Amino acid sequence: MRTRSKRVLFIFSLLVALAVIVFSVWFDWNMVKPYIERQVTEKTGREFVIKGDLDVNLSLNPLISTRGLSLANADWGTEQPMLNIDKLSFRVSLWDLLLGDIVLPQVSISQPRIILEKSVDGRRNWDLKKEEKKPPELPKIGKLTLDRGTLLFRDPKTETDVTVRIFTDSASDDARETPINIAAEGKFTSLKFTAQIHGGEIVSLMDKTFPYPVRGKVQVGNSHAAFDGTITGLQALAAMDLKLELHGDDLSALYPIVGIVIFPSPPYRISGRLRHQQTEWSLKGFSGQVGKSDLGGDVLIDTAGERPMLRADVVSQVLDLEDLSGFIGARRAPQPQDSAAEKQEKKASIAAQRHRILPDQEFRVDRLRAMDADVKFTGKSIRNKDLPVEHLVTHLKIDNGLMTMDPVNFAVAEGNIVASVTVDARGEMPTGQAKVDVKKLRLSKLLPKSDLTKEGSGLIGGMAQIKSHGKSVGALLGAADGHFGLIMSGGQISNMLLEVVGLDGAEIIKFLFAGDKNVKVRCGVADFDIKNGLMTSKAFIIDTTDTNILGEGQISLAEETIDMKLSPEPKDFSIVSLRTPIHISGTFKDPTIYPDKMLAIRIGAAVLLGVFATPFAALIPLIETGPGEDANCRALIASVKKSAQKNDAKSGKH
């Protein structure tokens, strides 16, 4: 009985197998095509067509193949169709299908062409009709072979048009050793774009937890990047760990690429470890060179908020101040890599600015509003040919267009210049305010090449406060309101001291003092009122051992011009005491001096007292030249008052 049952089962199985074989041979699979086309069309909202025959070779892993698949583009698209595949073949694991999983052990796609594009108003052609709340799970793929794939991405709003060619190296039979190769070219944000990227095994593309290996090179305009590392969860960029190298002509050129605002800079080269987790991107422990300056530190960008948030702690061991000129809007000279048109534009820009010093490049208000920032910067050692700056510490913050720099602390000549600066770009016209304290600058260090280094003990202190509005640093200063005060205690006036401001020191000393020599200074004070960018002297005196120098006039920050008169008052009458006043005029860039046509008239103690009977006299205790170092200035005021009282007594006044 058992033997008969086995025979019956065997015959039944054989008949079923024969029936399946006959079915597979004689069944016309093209009868299924209309159903498939209709289902895809309904689910996507786009017409789906299969032009070729549908062939099925039955086995435990049936092989399904067809030709001429296409999915229509959006009706506003630049061309049809959105998707076109010359030939598609794949195997399906029946056993996994019975268990509820879709597993494709082998997939081969020949000459796929995909168009992804945006309309001018921001619509995306890949936003298909969706009937489900969440997208379906993609099938698990074993070995994937791509033959001459093409992807086009177009966005007219950002002037982006990129063609990407994708293929796989199928020389190996091992599915996990089939790499992806990508070559791209075109325009990205109107800039020339090229890329060469190599990916790892195909099977890991579908694994959301597998660190997918990737390496490549990308060029956008004159910005270059090379990377090598892993991306986890490639579809959603769940995590990233890449060794990154960047180099280019200008850091600010990275803004249209990464959306992060960086000030204009000279050529740079930076390397570090780029990591990404959730909404955070970090470049920790980076190092590099920007112009003649080295940079290093940590950078973190968080995209979770309304605007990207940049946090950074950057240190430069040796900082060249010229490399920061782009931060305040200085114009850039033509670079070797510039196009002919760019070189001509920069030459014309510099020519227009040739008589001016203050930067007039307008702030990029849109960029100040595009992101927030909290950046700490330290320049441990400063390289600068004009000023003895020793180091720099600053803290910059940006909050929805409101930029603050507090402090900006320069260590200069054994003292400090400490500033607090605010630029509010939240309105149409940026406004700004600044407070600057000059503390204990040593004159001998300020002019290290002069003879003052031998015996000079002069100290300089001062303070300034301004408020203004304007679209550039030059415009802000040109419309500034406020005041500026300065004290020098001790030291000397010499050729070198006057040459530091670009004037003819020998000529000035000849007219103001007895011959061409160094003159010791007891005290020097200056007080300027600032209104609409015009600095008007309220008090200006330099008290030397043999002469008092009184100053008057104006300095225009808007026009960058000088109109000052310096009048000498010798302390002891003699033939040489009849020295003439001098005028300082011209521009900041090209100042000139010339003697007054009339001889100096002895001014007297009453005028000196008038100079000090100003609000500036009250500022003297607030300006730091050093502990007790303002004694000469205090003594000067006291002596002038005493002299004035004696004169009053002689004239019968009480």
Summarize pLDDT for 370-404 with one digit per residue, the tens: 899 999 999 999 887 667 788 899 999 999 999 99
Lowest-pLDDT range of 463-472, 496-505, 525-534, 559-568: 496-505
How are beta strands 83-91 and 492-493 bridged, if at all?
unpaired
Peptide bond before 81: cis, by omega within 30 degrees of 0?
Answer: yes
Give the pLDDT of residue 206: 62
Give the pLDDT of residue 496: 40
Give the pLDDT of residue 614: 53
Lowest-pLDDT range of 65-74, 75-84, 428-437, 595-604: 595-604
Amino acid 397 reads K
How are beta strands 382-383 and 319-320 bridged, if at all?
parallel
Mean pLDDT of the chain: 78
Higher local confidence (pLDDT), 388 or 430:
430
Q: Which of 54, 41, 121, 132 is nearest to 83 (CA)?
A: 41
Lowest-pLDDT range of 20-29, 251-260, 617-626: 617-626
Cα dihedral 510/514/517/521 (nearest 10): -110
Q: Which of 236, 45, 42 is nearest to 128 (CA)?
A: 45
* pLDDT tier at 11, thresholds 50, 70, 90: low
Peptide bond before 264: cis, by omega within 30 degrees of 0?
Answer: no
Give the pLDDT of residue 536: 94
- How far is CA 46 from its chain centroid? 43
Q: In 3-state terms, what secondary structure has residue 195?
A: strand
Higher local confidence (pLDDT), 368 or 79:
79
CB 596, CB 506: distance < 8 Å = no
Rounded Cα gap, residues 286 and 299, in angstroms:
8
Instruction: Say what percent of the chain tops pLDDT 90.
Output: 35
Q: Which helix (H) or strand (E) holds 294?
A: strand 293-302
Give the pLDDT of residue 449: 55
In b/e form, how buried is each residue of 123-161, taking b as 16+ CB within 10 angstroms?
Answer: eebeeeeeeeeeeeeeeebbbbbbeebebbbbbeeeebb
Rounded Cα gap, residues 126 and 149, in angstroms:
18
Q: What angle do CA 639, 643, 644 make, to 5 degrees?
A: 120
Lowest-pLDDT range of 38-52, 130-144, 154-168: 130-144
Q: In 3-state terms, what secondary structure has residue 133?
A: coil
Q: Which of 209, 182, 179, 206 is nearest to 194 (CA)?
A: 182
Give the pLDDT of residue 645: 52
Left (φ > 0), alpha (ψ -120 to 50) or beta: where does 328 sit? alpha
User: Where are the domains positioned within the chain?
Assistant: 31-158, 296-331+351-427, 429-650
Amino acid 590 reads D
Give the pLDDT of residue 509: 53
Instruction: With a cut of 80, say whether residue 450 has pLDDT above it.
Output: no
DSSP state of 118: B
Instruction: With a cut of 90, say whether residue 409 has pLDDT above it.
Output: yes
Higher local confidence (pLDDT), 333 or 93:
93
Q: Which of 319, 470, 326, 432 is nearest to 381 (CA)?
A: 319
How are beta strands 113-117 and 534-544 bridged, if at all?
unpaired
Tell me the CB-side half-sphere exposure of residue 521, using CA atoms within 13 A. Answer: 27
Tell me the CB-side half-sphere exposure of residue 253, using CA atoms within 13 A. Answer: 20
Give the pLDDT of residue 501: 38
Give the pLDDT of residue 238: 77
Higher local confidence (pLDDT), 114 or 526:
114
Instruction: With a cut of 60, say whether residue 497 has pLDDT above it.
Output: no
Rounded Cα gap, residues 508 and 258, in angstroms:
55
The tens digit of pLDDT for each residue in 284-316 reads 899 999 999 999 999 999 989 889 999 999 999
CB 541, CB 512: distance < 8 Å = no
Q: Which residues pair with 553 in a beta bridge?
A: 564
Span between the terminal Cα atoms of the chain, in Å: 148
Higher local confidence (pLDDT), 399 or 493:
399
Tokens standing for residue 149: 């794939």
The tens digit of pLDDT for each residue in 27-76 reads 678 888 999 999 999 888 899 999 999 988 877 788 999 999 999 999 99
Q: Which of 478, 481, 476, 469 is nearest to 559 (CA)?
A: 478
Instruction: With a cut of 50, say whether residue 1 has pLDDT above it.
Output: no
Higher local confidence (pLDDT), 497 or 314:
314
Give the pLDDT of residue 530: 94
Cα dihedral 29/33/34/36 (nearest 10): 120
The tens digit of pLDDT for each residue in 198-230 reads 988 766 666 677 888 999 999 999 899 999 999
Higher local confidence (pLDDT), 88 or 490:
88
Q: How many helices (H) and strands (E) does the chain have?
A: 14, 34
Instruction: With a cut of 70, say whether residue 502 has pLDDT above it.
Output: no
CA distances from 485 to 399, 436, 437, 547, 615 (A): 32, 10, 10, 22, 10
In b/e form, how buried is each residue of 334-362, taking b as 16+ CB within 10 angstroms?
Answer: beeebeeeeeeebeeeeeebeeeebbbbe
Q: Which of 186, 184, 197, 112 is nearest to 148 (CA)?
A: 112
Give the pLDDT of residue 578: 47
The tens digit of pLDDT for each residue in 259-292 reads 777 878 889 999 999 999 888 999 989 999 999 9
Amino acid 279 reads T
* pLDDT tier at 487, thresholds 50, 70, 90: confident
* pLDDT tier at 498, thresholds 50, 70, 90: very low
Give the pLDDT of residue 589: 81
DSSP state of 580: P
Give the pLDDT of residue 635: 59
Q: What is the pTM of this model?
A: 0.74
* pLDDT tier at 543, thresholds 50, 70, 90: confident
